[in-house]
Amino acid sequence: MLFKIAVDCIIFTYDQQAHQLQVLLIRRENAPAQGEWALPGGFVDQLEDFAVTAARKLRQETGVDVSYLEQVQAYALTDPTAGQRLASVAYYALLDVAHYAPAADRTHYAQWVDLAQLPVLPFDHGQKVQDAWRRLQEAARHRPVPFHLLPRKFPLNHLQKFYEALYQVPLDNRNFRKWVKGLPYVEALAEVEQGVSHRPSQLYQFNTAAYSAYEQITQRTPY
């Protein structure tokens, strides 16, 4: 039994204005579900790892390389409308919103949509977004996820807002600050925010080398 295999991509970004995680949706040009908003992707048409296919599709769609790409899982389409056997592999990716925005004249075809206000998506795309989000939440406990979605230099407040959006919980700013200060890979800069209408905050940045060192000593016990 033979299958066509599609890759579906959940591309996350973080909107600093709205303090919201967003997902890139495109309007489908072909049937089925023609004209509806759905996840970008396409059929696997090269002999290569699925991750490579996903990265290629994303580059074609956005024109830039995503900075983080992980598989969510594979899905069998149990109800294929055509006689065609279909399977799909979902990937989630991170893309700094500053690096890609749909062209103004293309907002009808590609758009960032708030995770909290997703429309109903065709096929199992809704499920895939939820699964990907869950995976992203887990990944962020072990990996430097936020730094892919924030500008290189950022105030602690922005980092906190990001976590609040990711986990959908309010965080205490004093405890959050304390926690971050304990992370050796987030380093303070001798710079402050510009052009804000309140006391400007000190800026911080991610230190890759310090992270690598830290990662190795983070071996959790079973309980």
Partner DNA sequence: TAGGTTAACGTAATATATACGCTAAGTTTA
Partner DNA sequence: TAAACTTAGCGTATATATTACGTTAACCTA
Binding segment toward DNA, per CB under 7 A, in 39-47, 84-92, 93-101, 190-198: 190-198
Would you put residue 221 in left (φ > 0), alpha (ψ -120 to 50) or beta? Answer: beta
Residues in touch with a second copy (CB under 8 A): 1-5, 43-50, 53, 71, 73-76, 78, 80, 85, 87, 89, 138, 140-141, 163, 166-167, 169, 171, 176, 179, 221-223
Count CB-CB contacts under 10 A for residue 91: 26
Q: Which two tokens stand for residue 61?
A: 């769609």
Candidates 200, 208, 212, 213: give the one binding DNA (CB under 7 A).
Answer: 200
Determine the Cα angle at 119 with ends 118 and 122, to 5°: 115
Return the one option of DNA, a second copy, none that residue 30 interacts with (CB less than 5 to 8 A, by type).
Answer: none
Rounded Cα gap, residues 60 and 140, in angstroms: 27
Nearer to a second copy, 46 or 216 (CB): 46
With beta carbons less than 8 A apart as the criterion, state whether 14 and 112 touch: no
Nearer to a second copy, 170 or 195 (CB): 170
Least distance (Å) from a second copy to the CB of residue 131? 10
Cα Rg of the chain (Å, integer): 19
Q: Which amino acid is at 142?
A: H
Nearer to a second copy, 50 or 68 (CB): 50
Return the one option of a second copy, DNA, none that residue 49 interacts with (CB less than 5 to 8 A, by type).
Answer: a second copy
**Collapsed DSSP state (helix, strand, coil) of residue 139:** helix
Tell me if 216 contacts DNA by CB under 7 A.
no
Nearer to a second copy, 104 or 169 (CB): 169
User: 117, exposed or middle or buried, with CB in 10 Å at 0-12, 13-18, 19+?
Assistant: exposed
Return the one option of DNA, a second copy, none that residue 126 interacts with (CB less than 5 to 8 A, by type).
Answer: none
Residues within window 122-181 making contact with DNA, judged by CB under 7 A = 155-157, 172-175, 177-179
Q: Which two tokens stand for residue 38?
A: 């759905």
Binding segment toward DNA, per CB under 7 A, in 65-73, 108-116, 123-131, 195-203: 195-203
* DSSP label at residue 104: G
Residue from 144, 127, 155, 158 nearest 67 by CA: 144
Nearer to a second copy, 48 or 192 (CB): 48
Question: Where along the sequence are the contacts to DNA (CB under 7 A)?
Answer: 155-157, 172-175, 177-179, 182, 192, 196-202, 221, 223
